[in-house]
Amino acid sequence: MTTAMEAPQADRSRMAVSETDVAVEIIGMNKWFADFHVLRDINLKVMNGERIVIAGPSGSGKSTLIRCINRLEEHQDGQIIVDGVELTNDLKRIDEVRREVGMVFQHFNLFPHLTILQNLTLAPIWVRGTPKAEAEESAMKYLERVKIPEQANKYPGQLSGGQQQRVAIARSLCMNPKIMLFDEPTSALDPEMIKEVLDVMVKLAEDGMTMICVTHEMGFARQVANRVIFMDQGQIIEQNEPEEFFSNPQHERTKLFLSQIL
């Protein structure tokens, strides 16, 4: 009797582990904008703790793909499963998923009329119901993590682009996401500010965050990614660990892309 009961329990715990190890799974996914077929048969599985870099020419569908992962865009065909929840039209579940997934955009989208601290505490207080003092304490912790605690009471317009982007990252982290999506977070920045933002992202990766980053920073990809995914014309053309991806690209389109950016 004891043995019979133990066996299925052991199986269940194994299942639980393997299920929670998958952060994002995309199966046979297609998306259209009206009759434009923007994403074609996307299959992608991202495990917890992975650092994925998505590269590819402009217009290849990189932004659309990561926007689908937190349902800023709807897909029409196939499945997207985020932290065990399939993205459908069920708004309650979309909210659940959005709470787990932080997103940082090219443009920082901070509220200009709120201080940095208020930008960071807005969602924790109003969406999560965190008491103000607790939200502020946590916000200061994240501002220290992105190395700008002294800016807490300033307004976004008083900060440099690099500082604003670090605030945007801290703002996402305040919601305790399990997964962070980045869409070209450094491409609107002056060159001297790119490193300070990448440094924060490197640290986040070292701390074990699951990250999916669209970026053209190939140095970052080499340093941080465990997998680089190359997209062209709405498809995943190839993927590999960074060393192989850069030194031994398989497809002509990947070779052409790399020859243009490296």
According to the binding rule CB under 6 A, does residue 64 interact with ligand ADP?
yes
Q: Decide whether 63 or 254 has the Cβ nearer to Mg ion.
A: 63
**Which of ligand ADP, Mg ion, none does residue 215 bind to, with CB < 5 to 8 Å depending on kind?**
none
Give the interface size with Mg ion as a residue count (CB under 5 A).
1
Contact status: 218 vs ligand ADP (CB under 6 A):
no
- Our finding on whether 61 is near ligand ADP (CB under 6 A) is yes
Rg (the chain; Cα; Å): 20
Interaction partner, residue 38 (Mg ion, ligand ADP, none; CB < 5-8 Å by kind):
ligand ADP
Instruction: Give the residue with the Cβ less far from ligand ADP, 26 or 148.
Output: 26
Exactly one of 26, 29, 46, 63 binds ligand ADP (CB under 6 A); that residue is 63
Under the criterion CB under 5 A, does residue 63 sit at the interface with Mg ion? yes
59 binds, among Mg ion, ligand ADP, none (CB under 5 to 8 A by kind): ligand ADP
Q: Tell me how far, at minimum, the Cβ of 42 lies from ligand ADP, in Å.
A: 12
Q: Any contact of residue 74 with ligand ADP (CB under 6 A)?
A: no
Whole-angstrom distance, CA of residue 213 vs CA of residue 211: 6
- For residue 169, the minimal CB distance to ligand ADP (Å) is 20
Q: How far is residue 21's CA from residue 135's CA, in Å, rounded to a whole number? A: 29
**Measured on CA atoms in the order 121, 127, 129, 130, is the torsion positive or negative?**
negative
Give the span between the Cα atoms of 131 and 182, in whole angstroms: 28
**Distance, C-alpha 101 to centroid of its chain:** 7
**Whole-angstrom Cα distance, residue 210 to residue 42?**
20
Closest approach of ligand ADP to the CB of residue 69, in Å: 12
Residues 102 and 180 sit within 8 Å (Cβ to Cβ):
yes
Question: Which is closer to Mg ion, CB of 139 or CB of 213?
Answer: 213
**Shortest spacing between CB 214 and Mg ion, in angstroms:** 6
For the window 21-60, what string marks contact with ligand ADP as x by the rule CB under 6 A?
A: ------------x--x-x-----------------x-xxx
Q: Rounded CA gap, 164 and 145, in Å?
A: 14
Residues in contact with ligand ADP by CB under 6 A are 33, 36, 38, 56, 58-64
